A and B are shown apart, each in its own frame.
Chain A
């Protein structure tokens, strides 16, 4: 158990368009999901923390109006990159925490990532 999926796995779009990326916890409920961004040959940088039923918490320097996050259910969070530009091209990775009293409840489970290329 504890599988996280992302869709799409890769997307190419034109500058100025919006792109939605989905993150799903397939076999567990996740009240909190995290969105990361990774530039080539760099580490993951946390963009925002997505909380089910409430507004996301954005890290400093991340434009909340550009990166819209919706966490409508306990198994789905979406990241929408609005009016995308070439500099938004990156690898976006989500993760979900599994709540409970078990040994794996301190882990985050990562999705496979979404490669966004903005032309």
Chain B
């Protein structure tokens, strides 16, 4: 069975400071890992994904994430947070076999304070 944990319900960070949103996963076989962002009353917007290759993945809006197989983690990071980054962030995992659905983490609300 696949599962995703996001241990923090809420992350607060000051504008200009680095931010980290944590994600750990459990999946059989090779994982496909994703980060999505959701603004109020909107659908999900894709940020980045890890399929294979370099463990450090760079995505949209200056975000990046590092895949750590030994720790089964895929933390989302950004060197300098913006107030406009305030939103709900979801980590998701998908098993290697195409056609299987995503399993989403519970979400982490990021608040960037001016």
Contact = CB atoms under 8 A, between A and B. Distances in A.
Given A106-B32, A106-B94, A107-B34, A42 B43 contact: no
A106 B49 contact: yes
Contacts of B36: 110
Contacts of A95: 44, 102
Contact of B98 (A49, A97, A113, A115): A97
A67 interface: no
Interface residues of A, number: 25
A108 interface: yes
A113 B41 contact: yes
Contact of B43 (A34, A46, A106, A111): A111
Contacts of A43: 90, 104-107
B90 A108 contact: no
A106 B51 CA distance: 8
A32 interface: yes
Interface residues of B, number: 22
B99 interface: yes
Nearest to A106: B32
Given A43-B90, A107-B49, A93 B43 contact: yes
- The A interface is mostly helix, strand or loop, or mixed, namely strand
B101 interface: yes
A8 interface: no
B102 A108 contact: yes
A97 B99 contact: yes
Contacts of B106: 42-43
B107 A42 contact: yes
A49 B107 contact: no
28 contacts: A6-B43, A32-B99, A34-B102, A41-B107, A43-B107, A44-B44, A44-B104, A49-B101, A91-B41, A93-B43, A95-B44, A97-B98, A97-B99, A106-B49, A106-B51, A106-B98, A107-B34, A107-B46, A107-B49, A108-B94, A110-B43, A110-B44, A110-B45, A111-B43, A112-B43, A113-B41, A113-B42, A115-B41
Interface of B: 32, 34, 36, 41-46, 49, 51, 90, 94, 98-99, 101-107
